[in-house]
Amino acid sequence: MIPSRSLAVVIFLSATAMAFGQVPPPVTTIPDDIAFQNADIMSEGTRMAAEVFAPKNTKSEKLPTIVMSHGWGGTAAALRADAIIFARAGYLVLTFDYRGWGKSDSRLVLAGKSLEKKDGKLFAEVKEVREVVDPIEQTTDVMNAIHWVTGEAQCDANRIGLWGSSYSGGHVVYVAAREPRVKAFVSQVGAMDSRWTLATAPMRASTYSQAIARTHGKLEYPKPSAKFGSLTGMPIQEKLATYAPIEDIGRVEKCAKLFIIAGDEELFDNKDNAILAHQRAKGVKKLITIEGIKHYGIYNEARPQAQREAIAWFDEYLKK
């Protein structure tokens, strides 16, 4: 059953009070004390653009590793400031763009109805699926990022942590429930339940009619960069209908779980998201409320505090 408060998540998706663009601009210069490289990750055959950060002069060391994932409509470039801070604290850090976002390639689908085979090769007209929000695809990308980084020489595969914010604050719960190598996660201002797409009769009708039309080939994927309220990226509603990390939290007993929330969260009800997840969670867990900030305050005035809390958590459960 979907809690009535889940309807408040709709506010998160249509709010106009603070757009994602108000997040501070990404860092463009990598400081001298940080080793940096670009990388490519293959996720189900599609290339994802990634960035790798580490403290300099540690090439011979195995490092605890943090995989970072951005929220709704974001890109890895916006995570650089945090990645640099985490690398300075002694971590190998991986950021990446989901498929179809930022510098990553897009998943391709047929534009026509048939393939042409010639000289042992397939030819087809295709189109990109770009800048849409599909949490099932995005969490698959996070899992593939974990697979990739464990193959890096500096990664200590026994000390993997996840960091996610806003929409990906739910992704880290979903992934940790399915990936036993994740030993700790930080979920900040996380949204934990996307079943608002089925919460009312009109929403159910809209969601299922889209699913029917898409499976009958009568509805294409949304256009790139389409707006959903104030957010960039239209959701695939039928995918959101089955996505509820709040139901997975009980499976994350062996992972150390930190939830950071905004005391004046205006985009959804914390009681149905991180607070409920913390209540349901088993094993090592902690809930931190940063008072006096709204949702986007975590990226602005409260960013240094959120970084300190994350480092302290990872130090406790990945280093010790």
pLDDT digit string, tens, across residues 222-251: 999 999 998 999 999 999 999 999 999 999
Instruction: Give me the pLDDT at residue 58, please.
Output: 83
Instruction: Give me the pLDDT at residue 52, please.
Output: 98
Q: If DSSP codes are grouped into helix, strand and coil, which group holds residue 67?
A: strand
DSSP state of 152: S
Do the Cβ atoms of 248 and 171 come closer than 8 Å?
A: no
How many separate domains does the chain show? 1
Looking at per-residue confidence, does 24 or 154 come out higher? 154
Q: Torsion over CA of 171, 173, 179 and 181, rounded to 10 degrees?
A: 110
E-strand stretches of 15-84: 34-43, 46-55, 63-69
Instruction: Give me the pLDDT at residue 2, please.
Output: 38
| pLDDT exceeds 80 at position 113 | no
Q: What is the pLDDT of residues 165-193, one digit of tens each?
A: 999 999 999 999 999 999 999 999 999 99
Q: Is residue 81 part of a domain?
A: yes
Instruction: Give me the pLDDT at residue 14, please.
Output: 38
| pLDDT exceeds 70 at position 22 | no
Q: What is the pLDDT of residues 30-40, one digit of tens each?
A: 999 999 999 99
Amino acid letter, residue 111: A
Distance between CA atoms of residues 104 and 46, nearest Å: 8
| pLDDT exceeds 50 at position 152 | yes
Calculate the CA 247 to chain-centre distance.
17
Average pLDDT, the chain: 91
Distance between CA atoms of residues 25 and 193, nearest Å: 28
What does the chain come to in residues? 320
**Nearby residues of 277 by Cβ (< 8 Å), 6 or more positions away:** 173, 187, 190, 192, 245, 246, 249, 257, 259
Q: What is the pLDDT of residues 83-93, one digit of tens each?
A: 999 999 999 99
Looking at per-residue confidence, does 19 or 108 come out higher? 108
DSSP state of 204: H
Q: If DSSP codes are grouped into helix, strand and coil, which group holds residue 286?
A: strand
Instruction: Give me the pLDDT at residue 1, please.
Output: 37
- Region 147-159: mean pLDDT is 97
Q: Is residue 201 part of a domain?
A: no
Q: Is residue 294 part of a domain?
A: yes
58: its two tokens: 């540690």
Q: Is residue 220 part of a domain?
A: no
Q: What is the pLDDT of residues 41-84, one digit of tens each?
A: 999 999 999 999 999 988 888 999 999 999 999 999 999 999 99
Place 3 in a pLDDT band, splitting at 50, 70 and 90.
very low
Q: Is residue 205 part of a domain?
A: no
Do the Cβ atoms of 104 and 131 come closer than 8 Å?
A: no
Instruction: Give me the pLDDT at residue 320, please.
Output: 80
CATH of the domain at 52: 3.40.50.1820
Calculate the CA 143 to chain-centre distance.
11
Instruction: Give me the pLDDT at residue 23, please.
Output: 64
DSSP state of 27: P
Place 7 in a pLDDT band, splitting at 50, 70 and 90.
very low
Residues of the domain holding 302:
15-194+240-319
Q: Is residue 177 part of a domain?
A: yes
Give the 3-state DSSP-derived string for 88-118, with helices as H, strands as E and coil as C. Answer: HCCCEEEEECCCCCCCCCCEEEECCCCCEEE
Distance between CA atoms of residues 158 and 151, nearest Å: 12
- Region 118-139: mean pLDDT is 93
Instruction: Give me the pLDDT at residue 110, please.
Output: 87
- Region 252-273: mean pLDDT is 97
Q: Is residue 204 part of a domain?
A: no
Q: Is residue 213 part of a domain?
A: no
